[in-house]
Every structure is written in C-alpha cells, then in structure tokens.
Structure 1
C-alpha cells in the first residue's frame, strides 16, 4: 500500500501483546497481497488485466470493498473514484518540476475513467469494465480498510485499547495505558517537524490527504497527487484535508473526495454527514473547520 504501518495495543502481558501485534502485521500483509495493483498475483491486478474481456468472478471480500467504493462514489457524486488510476499514470509526482501532458492525452485518458463504467453483478459476484483501458486502484481506501480489519481482529481477540497508524492516518479504540484519550497531531504544512494542533480521538479514525509527500511543481504552483476525475487535472489550492469519522475506510475515502470538492463544497458536504468532521488547510495556510468541530476559521 506504499505506507508505513505502526501498530500498538494496550495489554498487561508483553507476550500476548506481541502475538496480537503479529496478527495485525499478518492481516496487513494479507490485504496488501489482495489489493495491491503492483503485485502480479493480486485480485486487483487480475481485475485490471482481464475485467474488460469478460465479466470476472472475484472473491467476496474484494467484491464488497468495490461495492462500498461505488456507494461512496455515488455519495460524493464522483469526487471519490477508484477508476482514476489511468490518469495518475500520465503524471509524475516526484516532488520536482514537471510539464503537463498535452490536452489531447488528458481527454483520451478521461474516456477510461468513471465509476459508472464499472459493472458489478451481485448475482454471480463479478466485475466488468465497460470501456477499454480502465483500471482500478484502492490507493485512496485500502489502508483505511486494512486498519479497520486489524482493529476488528483485535476486538474479536478481546483487546480493549489499541491503535493503527498508517503513515499518519490514525485509527484508535479504547484509551491509552494511562487512561487518557488517544490524539492525533495535525502537521504544520510548512514544517514536517512541527505540529499545528492536536485533536483528541474517541473511538474514531482520521485520514489526511495532502500535497506534502507526492506533488509536482509547474509555473511555481504546487500540484497534489490527487486527480480531479472530472477534468483529469491534478489539484492545487489545498495543502491538506483531514477527515474524522468512526471508520478508517470511510475517512480514507472522504479525505480524497473532499480534496476534489474544494474547501467550500467539501465542508458543506461533511456538515451533512453524522459523526464526521474535517479540517482543511489551503495554499495560503488558512485553516477551515467543519461544523461542531470548531466555530472559527483561522490562519497559521
């Protein structure tokens, strides 16, 4: 999944804690082998290779994840879209200057993008691409899914408190060993070693989508690795979006969707969802909060 995972459990016995951590590592590895588009034996790679030729029967786990992804696409009116992968292939997010591909290449690639062009059949649990050149990627939802799966495995084993940190996306339950709440530090957009603010987490997850790690520069403008699935263009104007919700999978997907929506529409959207909140930092370092999380906008 291209992410570093850090796992932690609160337990009275070190040997038992180590076993639980190993269970978590094994589950993340299993999901990586299932979902990664870069592993030749993964279900994702099989889908991307053959789903245009004929409807492809897939395992229930992947089918349900794709189905939920489609539901999120419907909810966000296409701002979250697992079929955006072909567009990412025509850009280079290597943190340096880069020239845009020609307009005709973007338009051509856009024809192979669109969640509505993915056909799912519940009857025989199959997937089919309606258009040539389509590919899917779980890069905007996979690590959240993995975090939720590890959390549930631990809860099934009787664990009362723990966390999964997937490259800064944090999923928590219970409380820390000293009884205090888990909390997440929102990184300063200009200084990776400085924490802008801390937000307590209560049985919840947070995912951040930003232009800190993967971006390119063009005419002195910084473009995020997030692609607008409607225009085919990488997004500028926002440095980070952090979404808080009860589910790591949902937080992961919605962070990308809100990034595409932009700060005004993104906050309006989040305000309509129960138990879901967000923090947005724009390219001028102005900080925006969704309703019930903070009542004043501020600048760094």
Structure 2
C-alpha cells in the first residue's frame, strides 16, 4: 500500500488530501473526486462568491426569504444547534462585528462603543429563520451577514471522508491548513497522528495526538492578532460583547466530526479557559487543548497525547 496525496487551495486555505491505496490510477480518481466535492461546497457556502447561496441570503437580509438547497438548510440548522448548546459563543452571524476590526499586527484603534453596539444589533443566531420543509432561509434584520468560515471547512472534510469510506478507501485524511480529519490507517498500518503546534512558532510541535476516526481543529491567533495597551488580542470576536478575545493563543478540539471540531474550537475560544474546559468535559467523545497567553497548556480530562516539547 502507498500514500497518494494532492495539494490545492480551496475555501480560502491550503488543503491537502491524502489516501492509502495500491493502485495509483484509482487513488488519483478518488483524490480528484474529493477536490471537486470541496469546490462544489465552496460554491454553495462562500460569502465571497456573489452567486453562492450564502451570499444570496446575505444580499436579501431583512428583506426576503431565500430558497436554497436542503444541504445548506441542514448545515445552517446544525449551526444554530451548536450555537444553542454553546450558549451563543458560536454564532455564524458575527460578520457585522468582524467588519469593524482590522487584524494586521499594526497600530490599532478600537472601534467606538456605539459602533460595536450598533453592530451587535445585527448579530444573533436566533435572528435566522429556517424552514426545513420549504428549504427557505431569511435573515430577519437588514445588515445581517452570515459566514460559515468557522464550520464550512469541517463540513467539507466530513463529506469527503464519508464519500471515500463509501468507496471502501482503507485510510485517508483531509487537512485544511492544519485542521485534520482522518480515518483508517496510514501506509504502515499505523494510526494517523497530528501535531499541535506552538502558537509562537508553527514549525514547532508541542505534542501529538493519535487520530482514529476523528478530527481535530484549531482556532488560534497565529496570523491575525494585534497588540493594544500591552495586551494581545485575537482576530476571534466574542459574539456576546462584540470585542476581540484576549488571554488565549490557541484552542484545539478533537471530536468524531470535523464540522463539530471546527465550530467548537471557535466557541471555546470565546468562552475562555475555565468555562471552555467545563463545557468540553460534558460532551461525549470530545476533547480539547487550550494554550493561554502565557503559554500554559490546559487539557480536558480524558485526552490521550504524546508530549514532544513544552
């Protein structure tokens, strides 16, 4: 058995798809199939493609109901469920707040309080009306903007994994800029492993986690953050108060679903360390690693990992 892989840029990030097979032609067929599927999903979900279904929903915010594919309705519905169980710390309507901030590691001025307050009025997952029977969606306030950036890549990875397993691929992975979902085993018959990076040096691995039918996603401020009055702020926005988050450098979530890991990494980042760990410890088959701004590492109760260097 050999490992075959393909790299490409999709959904705004670098993807690597890899699988285990004995025949190169069949492997390349499945890799191409996976890439086409992610492209299809990007065309549905991208907020940056004006003809995507998500963009059309945003364009009609506060005005009209939009009919979309059932696949989109179901993903939006699951997003609302994750918002509910996380008490609103995960929220796909946070777009109006993100537009207020610029995270380029340069001199930064906080938006005025009234600007944040105004944007907060356009935020709230309960303001999305979804009708699964008619496959229709409406954003209830003008100026609302939904983004699936914190769940879309995970969803795409889950779809490709399911497709490959249905085609009896014995092992494979989908890596979206470090967010990894994997199944089966590698070319040596061993479990897949992923390294958790040092937030200050992404080329340095702090610890490794074996992945068996699981996914890991990381939310961090590696590339987008700013320093204000001596404090380091992340590009992640707390949907509760509309402010960037400080005190945490990265959150990594391991769960059976890439979609869930993706969304929970964002939610726990906003929750903070104590609340986030307590929340994760209540979820089945879900684990977390949090690194604070002092480089202290926190783990959920039953996480198994291998320390590399701390």
TM-score by length of 2: 0.93
Equivalent residue in structure 1 for 2:285, among 269, 275, 284: 275
Runs of 4+ in 1 over 2 A off after TM superposition: none
Q: Give 1:128-143 correspondences, 5 Å limit.
A: 128-143=138-153
Q: Residues of 2 paired with 1:36 and 1:187: CA distance?
A: 28
Q: SS of 1:216's equivalent? A: strand
Equivalent in 129, 139, 144 of residue 154 of structure 2: 144
Corresponding residue for residue 256 of structure 1: 266
* Equivalent position of 1:34 in the other structure: 44
Could you say what secondary structure the match of 2:156 adopts?
Answer: helix
Looking at structure 1, the residues matched to 204 and 140 of structure 2 have their Cα atoms a distance apart, in angstroms, of: 47
Q: In structure 1, which of residues 211, 222, 238 is the aligned counterpart of residue 248 of structure 2?
A: 238
What is aligned with 1:20? Answer: 30
Q: 2:98 is matched with which residue?
A: 88
Find the aligned partners of 1:96 and 1:170 in 2 and give their Cα distance: 31
What displacement does 1:221 show? 1.9
Unaligned runs of 5+ in 1: none
CA RMSD of aligned residues (A): 1.3
Q: 1:118 is matched with which residue: 110, 128, 131?
A: 128
Contact 2:61 2:141 in 1 (8 A): no
Are 1:127 and 2:142 an aligned pair?
A: no
TM-score of the two chains, using structure 1 as the length reference: 0.96
* More strand per residue: 2
Asked if structure 1 preserves the Cα contact closer than 8 Å seen for 2:209 and 2:304, the reply is no
Partner of 2:215: 205
Which deviations, in whole Å up to 9, do the C-alpha atoms of 1:21-69 show, x marking residues without a partner?
A: 1001111111111111000110010000014212211110100000000
**1:72 paired residue number:** 82
Residue 155 of structure 1 and its aligned partner are, at CA, apart by 1.1
* The one of 48, 52, 76 aligned to 2:62: 52
Could you say what secondary structure the match of 2:148 adopts? coil
Q: Is the 8 A contact 1:271 1:290 kept in 2?
A: yes
Task: Give the deviation of 1:220 after TM superposition.
Answer: 2.8
User: Which residue of the partner structure matches residue 198 of structure 2?
Assistant: 188
SS at 1:195 equivalent: strand
Partners of 1:212 and 1:222 in 2: CA distance: 11
Deviates more, 1:51-60 or 1:171-180: 51-60
User: What's the offset of the Cα at 1:294?
Assistant: 5.9
Question: Could you list the per-position Cα deviations for residues 155-197 of structure 1 after superposition, in whole angstroms to 9, with x for gaps in the alignment?
Answer: 1211110000000000000011101110110101222221111
2:252 partner SS: strand
